[in-house]
Structure 1
Amino acid sequence: MTGNESHSTGRIRREWTAMTERAQSGRGLILLSVAAGWLFAQGLRFVLPGILPTITASFPSTSDTQAGIAVTVLWATYGVVQFPAGIAADRIGEARVLTASLLLGAASLLAFTFTPVFGLFVVATGLFGAATGLYGPPRGTLLARVFADRADRAIGLTLAAGSLGAAVLPAIASLVVDGFGWRATLGLAAPGFALAGVAVYLTAGRAESGERNETPDLDDNSDATDSSTVTQSIGSSLWVAAKSIWNPQAGLATLAAIVMYFGYQGITALVTTYLVDHKGFVQAEAGVLFGGLFLVGALSQWLAGRIATNRRSARVLAAIAAVSVLPLVGLVVFDHRLLVAASVLLIGVRMGFAPVSNAFIIRCLPPDVEGTAWGVVRTALFVVSSLASTMVGVLADAGQFDGAILGLAGLTGVAAMLYLGLPSCQARRLLDRV
């Protein structure tokens, strides 16, 4: 090799290294901004049930059933918009949908100021659920694409950030709500949503713009596509998405995830009410324990994401579901405050299933309709599971609060058995990428 060739090779190697480092840095900023947005979106969604005893006390004659309905509305609206959010992510890009979600979330938090009656509170709750619901599908597909080599870990870190928000923000809200009032407490989080939206736009948005600029236009008249063609394209995408969801791998994984989310929604919706009304805790104590549940959840999600990278995902999911039965039973059986507190905290272990389940299902979906299909899956997950809080509320008013929690424990055991029958999607996804 001549001196000039050696010099040229060395220069190319240095340029390649510098480009790789810039790419890695850009990926890190995308992960950081998306995780920060999820911290606020997830955290505030659990501030509402975290301070629910204080909220319902401000509306005379509000029952556990009504409280459960409010939480159902929160999660149902969150679930309904998952599907259109997935379509929007495929059409206009994940970054724009993520940014819109955070800015609308900030606006909807301010809407709680105008809720003098419980009915308007439920409406505001629905608006907030819909705003944050836009975040889920593009968050998952963006990270799965940007971190294709380690999607489990990236999604796990992001969900762990959300769990951290769900731990810290409800705990803080429970401590300050008596001094500020619940409406002002919620409104204080609006600036955080707005700042997170700007951060996502500046990182993920610019990255998407670069990708579009690098992709040549095959048809200069593409903008002239008529509405009928767009409608037909959406219909075709829906058909392909539906077929992909009903394959044995994705279908069984989705069913198991629905069962796990059902238990998750049912217990987190009214656990603070259960602690206050049945276990002798005060609002501040219940709120801090509720936040601690999500700290355990954050650790569980981080650990599960790392383990699933090197282990069969189905076995990790089955183990998490099986272990998650125990704290639900303990919450009912134990009367000692320390044991009850430990049971509440260990409920967070079940949250470790989310990053592994999300990455597993996404790997089973065709890349060309990934956002649409994932939106359909998430709509099913959250709309069905949102009914759990109303079910628990109705049973609580009927004097069967303990029975409701034990029923959730039984369903969690069913999920463990479903996961044991789950095959792997990895081989299929690798073939799809060839």
Structure 2
Amino acid sequence: MRLTGGRARAAASQYDVLLAVSGLWFVVQFLRYLLPPLFPTFRVVFGVGPTATGALFSALMVGYAAVQFPAGTVADRVGGPSVLAAAGVAFGGAAVLAAAAPTFAVLFVAAVLVGVTTGPHKTVAVPLLSRRYPDRPATALGVMDTIGQAGGAVAPLVVAASLSLALGWRAAFVVGAGVALVTTVAFVRCVGSDGELSLRSTIETTTDEQSLDSEARGRDTEDTDAPTGWAGYRAPFADRRLVGFLLVTMLFSFAWNAVSAFLPLYLVDAKGVPPAMAGLLYGGFFAVSVTQAAAGPVGDRVGPFRTLVVLLGVAVVATAVLVTTTDTVVLVVVVVVAGLGFHGFRPVRDAHLMTLVPSSGDAGVLGIVRTLMLGAGALSPVAVGYVASIASYDLAFGGVVAVLAAAVGLALLTR
């Protein structure tokens, strides 16, 4: 029994890092997606329009995108866990600033800081978890994304509770700051007690580990004379498959940020859905992110590329129906189905990316990919807000459908 108990504890301890990293991702998503359900409140409190609220979310995403490559290079040098811990402290502080913002200008600065401080997480976490769980990377990433997206699902519920209980919108950011502190402390304690990691653990592996990792990913072991420094980060982009899939991720990011930022307002203004119901549907859109835990194992079993193409197709069809229907029941169904496609796509996207980037310095390369991907995504909220202001939300979301369809076509062409 002691042996069995010991084995059980050892097996459970293997997932401590996954759960700790996922807990931080939960807070990242919670803070990022506090903003969209507060757009109607900001319009009243600060007297701003849809272009300004779209610019607020775009500013957050620009800050988020800008730190991807720097965070990756720092993680390659000083250790991913150190970067994650420092970021946890920093985004807790950014949430405090947002809670105290007296003007829209200060809130704008706080949004940028939330973006900058939450930005390092996934660039560091994806290679770290892929190395830690090399036999099931898509599964590990699916678990992280599922737990993280629960933060996105909880965010509008916390906003609704804060407003209905007359606590005010600022209380939602105070909650975020408190949870950030708790999860960061838990992560540091987990890393401190882990047998394989320390706060200064780098993401690079030994030569033997690189060989095994390369074999598992279906790639050749890197040449010992491979370029280093900036040249080493630039060299992988000579691969047509990586560049092509980078463009796919950029198109997806544009569409994802448009939908995630404006879905509540779109449902209210274009479809006539009551605000309370729109908030519930927005929460449901994130609640179905639990399917990411299933998408990961499917990606490990049948291949991440095949899985991501199917899920991207689901997102295209559901978003197209969202634009064309006015039936309430159909709206409920397509919001859920769109959530399945959008959320399920991301863990298998990341797993596929890790088959295209080299093992050495992968956090830096992934940082470049995510900088471009998120930079494209940062443009979409302000673009959608502008089109909605001068034309209609239906036209803006129709453009999103076209972007998603282009992503599917490009993925098939550049496989």
TM interval, shorter chain, is 0.7 to 0.9
* 1:165 alignment partner AA: G
* 1:313 alignment partner AA: P
2:367 equivalent in structure 1: 375
1:208 equivalent in structure 2: 198
2:304 equivalent in structure 1: 313
Deviation, structure 1 residue 113: 3.1
Provide the C-alpha distance between the structure 2 equivalents of 1:370 and 1:148, rounded to a whole number of angstroms. Answer: 14
1:93 equivalent in structure 2: 79
For residue 404 of structure 1, the aligned residue among 383, 396, 411 is 396
Summarize deviations over 1:220-244 as a string: whole Å, max 9, x none: xxxxxxxxxxxxxxx9332212211
DSSP 3-state at the match of 2:273: coil
For residue 254 of structure 1, the aligned residue among 246, 250, 256 is 246
Deviation, structure 1 residue 209: 5.9
Deviation, structure 1 residue 177: 2.3
Provide the C-alpha distance between the structure 2 equivalents of 1:239 and 1:247, rounded to a whole number of angstroms. Answer: 14
1:326 equivalent in structure 2: 317
Deviation, structure 1 residue 145: 0.9
Summarize deviations over 1:346-392 as a string: whole Å, max 9, x none: 22122211111111112222222111111111111111111011110
For residue 113 of structure 1, the aligned residue among 88, 92, 99 is 99
Deviation, structure 1 residue 170: 1.8
Q: Are the structure 2 counterparts of residues 211 and 384 from structure 1 closer, same or farther at C-alpha, using a change threshold of 3 Å?
A: closer
Query: Structure 1 stretch 182-191 or stretch 71-80: which is displaced more?
Result: 182-191
Provide the C-alpha distance between the structure 2 equivalents of 1:124 and 1:65, rounded to a whole number of angstroms. Answer: 18
List runs of 5+ in structure 1 lacking aligned partners.
1-13, 217-234, 424-434
Provide the C-alpha distance between the structure 2 equivalents of 1:362 and 1:406, rounded to a whole number of angstroms. Answer: 32
1:342 equivalent in structure 2: 333
Provide the C-alpha distance between the structure 2 equivalents of 1:324 and 1:99, rounded to a whole number of angstroms. Answer: 34
* 2:198 alignment partner AA: E
Deviation, structure 1 residue 284: 2.7
The answer to whether residue 256 in structure 2 is matched with residue 264 in structure 1 is yes
Deviation, structure 1 residue 128: 0.7
The answer to whether residue 61 in structure 2 is matched with residue 69 in structure 1 is no
Deviation, structure 1 residue 15: 12
CA contact (8 A) 2:31 2:114 kept: no
* 2:383 alignment partner AA: M
For residue 137 of structure 1, the aligned residue among 123, 140, 145 is 123
Provide the C-alpha distance between the structure 2 equivalents of 1:21 and 1:370, rounded to a whole number of angstroms. Answer: 32
Deviation, structure 1 residue 290: 0.8
Summarize deviations over 1:252-302 as a string: whole Å, max 9, x none: 221111111110001111111112222223333222211110112331x22
2:219 equivalent in structure 1: none
CA contact (8 A) 1:171 1:290 kept: no
Provide the C-alpha distance between the structure 1 equivalents of 2:97 and 2:5, rounded to a whole number of angstroms. Answer: 47
2:213 equivalent in structure 1: none
Provide the C-alpha distance between the structure 1 equivalents of 2:75 and 2:128, rounded to a whole number of angstroms. Answer: 9
Deviation, structure 1 residue 31: 0.8
* 1:395 alignment partner AA: V
List runs of 5+ in structure 2 lacking aligned partners.
207-226
Q: Are the structure 2 counterparts of residues 421 and 24 from structure 1 closer, same or farther at C-alpha, using a change threshold of 3 Å?
A: farther
Provide the C-alpha distance between the structure 1 equivalents of 2:414 and 2:344, rounded to a whole number of angstroms. Answer: 17
DSSP 3-state at the match of 1:148: coil
Provide the C-alpha distance between the structure 1 equivalents of 2:116 and 2:129, rounded to a whole number of angstroms. Answer: 21
Provide the C-alpha distance between the structure 2 equivalents of 1:131 and 1:43, rounded to a whole number of angstroms. Answer: 13
The answer to whether residue 180 in structure 2 is matched with residue 189 in structure 1 is no
**Whose radius of gyration is greater, 1 or 2?**
1
Deviation, structure 1 residue 44: 2.0
Q: Are the structure 2 counterparts of residues 97 and 122 from structure 1 closer, same or farther at C-alpha, using a change threshold of 3 Å?
A: same
The count of residues paired between Structure 1 and Structure 2 equals 388
For residue 53 of structure 1, the aligned residue among 40, 57, 63 is 40
CA contact (8 A) 2:99 2:171 kept: yes
The answer to whether residue 384 in structure 2 is matched with residue 392 in structure 1 is yes
Deviation, structure 1 residue 76: 1.0
Alpha-carbon RMSD:
2.4
CA contact (8 A) 1:30 1:204 kept: yes
CA contact (8 A) 1:51 1:283 kept: no
1:28 equivalent in structure 2: 15
1:7 equivalent in structure 2: none
* 1:99 alignment partner AA: A
Provide the C-alpha distance between the structure 2 equivalents of 1:262 and 1:45, rounded to a whole number of angstroms. Answer: 16
**Aligned pairs (5 A) from 1:253-292:** 253-292=245-284
Provide the C-alpha distance between the structure 1 equivalents of 2:135 and 2:95, rounded to a whole number of angstroms. Answer: 37
Query: Structure 1 stretch 145-154 or stretch 195-204: which is displaced more?
Result: 195-204
Residue identity over aligned pairs, in percent, reads: 28
DSSP 3-state at the match of 1:279: coil
Q: Are the structure 2 counterparts of residues 190 and 406 from structure 1 closer, same or farther at C-alpha, using a change threshold of 3 Å?
A: same
